[in-house]
Amino acid sequence: MVLLEASTLHRIPRVLSIAGTDPTGGAGIQADLKSIAAMGGYGMAVVTSLVAQNTFGVRSVHTPPAHFLIEQLEAVSDDVTLDAVKIGMLTDAGTIAVVRDWLRQVHPPLVVLDPVMVASSGDRLLAADAETALRELVSQADLVTPNLPELAVLVDEPVAEDWPAAIEQGKKLSTASGTIVLVKGGHLSTESSPDALVDVTGRIGSASESVVEFIHPRVTTKNTHGTGCSLSSAVATVMARTGDWADAVRQAKNWLQDALTHADELEVGHGNGPINHFHQLWAAAHTLQHNQDSSTP
């Protein structure tokens, strides 16, 4: 089902990432910009936090003053027509409030929220007041993309232990917020890696359809750093171009599967390295160069 009017779609979507940084380039705004470009969009970035991290983990986080975040947001929206906004790491309640107020003023046509709330270690990243503020922000997004620990926090339940339980939590969140939920099953110990669009109002398919599933084989690699950031940015970009949620997730998932399959080729860092955002582009360029060389007398 098409959500966006044809007049709002753009051949080269202008997509703004609002998120933290990753100096090794695998997550945060660096991953967002790569994903947006890989999906055919023009990426922009507003920094919510400066993060000292590498492929082994986060060392420290510096949050700039709220007034500077406001200045960044206004500098972009005063000048550029936005086709989509992807929101990632929001460090505290004050940061969330700034983004919330800006969304209400600007009314971007498409908002995707990746709720960064739980570290891979299982540690909670936000204070209680910030978690409450982020739950409220979900209702201002068109799509929210939690992993299973984050989904559990958003519905205030234990982490789902199987896929049917995860789908049910997705339905609860969609019902409570009025937002489409992309439930991600990467944390499950299964051979496949399932994801599902969940919406209780029929915006993702027929009026009676509330769940659209996407099943891919699990890729054997430790290099998965930034997967959530990358997927949400990719979905936002394709959605701004096509206006179809199921198609946007399908395209983004196929691209991500390929990026994971070829992640080990990058050899970036000694911990959990990044996915290969540009493998398809580089492979096409290599093929083109090979064909040109072969045709040269």
- Residue from 48, 229, 243, 273 carrying the catalytic annotation: 229
Q: Please, which pLDDT band fits residue 149 given cuts at 50, 70 and 90?
A: very high
Averaged over 113-118, what is the pLDDT? 89
How far apart CA 61 and CA 21 sit, in angstroms, is 9
Answer with the residue of higher pLDDT: 69 or 61: 69
Encoded tokens for 268: 């970036």
pLDDT (0 to 100) of residue 290: 60
Instruction: Tell me the CATH number for domain 10-295.
Output: 3.40.1190.20
* Nearest Cα residue to 87 out of 127, 128, 116: 116
- DSSP codes of every residue in the chain: -B-S-GGG--SS-EEEEEEE--TTSSSHHHHHHHHHHHTT-EEEEEEEEEEEEETTEEEEEE---HHHHHHHHHHHHTT---SEEEE----SHHHHHHHHHHHHHH--S-EEE----B-TTS-B-S-HHHHHHHHHHHTT-SEE---HHHHHHHHTSPPPSSHHHHHHHHHHHHHHH--EEEEE-TTS-SSEEEEEEE-TTSTTSSTT--EEEEEEEPP--S--BTHHHHHHHHHHHHHHHH-BHHHHHHHHHHHHHHHHHTGGGT---SSS-B--TTHHHHHHHHHHHHHHHHH--
Average pLDDT over residues 235-264: 95
Q: Where along the chain do its domains lie?
A: 10-295
Catalytic (active site) residue 222: no
Q: Whole-prediction pTM value?
A: 0.92
User: 287 an active-site residue?
Assistant: no
Q: What pairing do the DSSP bridges indicate for beta strands 14-20 and 42-54? A: parallel
**Would residue 145 show up in a list of annotated catalytic residues for this protein?**
no
Judge whether 202 counts as a catalytic residue: no
Per-residue confidence (pLDDT) for residue 285, from 0 to 100: 76
Judged against a pLDDT cut of 80, whether residue 120 lies above it is answered with no
Is position 229 annotated as part of the catalytic site? yes
- Single out the catalytic residue among 88, 228, 243, 273: 228
Q: pLDDT tens digits, residue range 49-63?
A: 999 999 998 889 999
